[in-house]
Amino acid sequence: MSIAGVGGASGAPFERRIDDEETSVTSVLLVDGDIGAQVAALAILSSQKQREANREIQVAEEAALQRAEAAQVEALHERADDIRMGGVIEGGFGVISGGCTIVGGFADSNSAARQYWSGGSKLADAGAKGFGSLPRAAQADADAIANTHEHAAGHHRRNLDAARDSTHEAQDLLERALDFYKQSQQTKADAHNSSVRRG
């Protein structure tokens, strides 16, 4: 197998982030002619590619996780705003209702004025319930949005953890490939020494 076939048609370095020294060592192993060296070189290349791909996945997932968490926080702020707005609306209508009740209390018990103020108090109570439900609905929407972003953040967190695990696996593969190469070279050297002693 040629180096150009592994590195691309141009024979350029094996893609980004592979150190020139590692590339040259791997290239020498590939063309050495020794099958153990070639197997080790292919395993090293594979682990380097895997590490690169996993680093890119980690960067993308970390960015997506940060966006999802920021969106979740924003949704929680919107929920808090909706709670405050609901309190203002219900409080405002409560003040109107209380004012109507107080003013109606000064009117004669069977007069039209008393009925008028009593009706105003009931109308204010109804307004508090009706208009107060709008921020509660928006609050429920904000809760749903926050939960959606929380689930998205969990998904990105799991992907990030998987990419980190895969990076560790690639490192283990690299270490095993180097151990295999060392052992094959030691075996080759021992065989050579043994044949020299016999000769």
pLDDT per position as a tens digit, 32-79: 657 777 777 788 888 888 888 888 888 888 888 888 888 888 888 888
Per-residue pLDDT, 76:
84
The answer to the question of residue 10 being in a domain is yes
**Locus of tokens 């090293």:** 44
Per-residue pLDDT, 4:
35
Query: How is 155-170 classified by DSSP, letter by letter?
Result: HHHHHHHHHHHHHHHH
The distance from CA 158 to its chain's CA centroid, rounded to whole angstroms, is: 8
Q: Rounded to whole angstroms, how far apart are CA atoms 194 and 190?
A: 6
The answer to the question of residue 194 being in a domain is no
DSSP character for 106? Answer: T
Q: How many domains does the chain have?
A: 1
Per-residue pLDDT, 23:
56
Residue-level length of the chain = 199
CB-side exposure of 130: number of CA atoms within 13 Å?
6
The answer to the question of residue 183 being in a domain is yes
Q: Rounded to whole angstroms, how far apart are CA atoms 61 and 166?
A: 14
Q: Rounded to whole angstroms, how far apart are CA atoms 184 and 175?
A: 14
The answer to the question of residue 192 being in a domain is no
What is the 3-state composition of the chain as percent helix, strand, coil, each rounded to the nearest 5? 90, 0, 10
* Helix orientation angle between 35-105 and 112-198, rounded to the nearest 10 degrees: 170
DSSP run (H or E) holding 116: helix 112-198
Per-residue pLDDT, 153:
86
The answer to the question of residue 195 being in a domain is no
Contacts of 60 (CB under 8 A, 6+ apart): none
Low-confidence residues in the chain, pLDDT < 70? 1-33, 198-199
Report residue 182 as tokens.
């060392």
The answer to the question of residue 91 being in a domain is yes
Environment class of residue 177 by beta-carbon count within 10 Å: exposed (0-12), middle (13-18) or buried (19+)?
buried
Report how far apart the first and last C-alpha atoms of the chain are (Å, whole number). 34
DSSP character for 78? Answer: H
What is the span of the domain harbouring residue 85?
3-187
The answer to the question of residue 193 being in a domain is no
The answer to the question of residue 24 being in a domain is yes
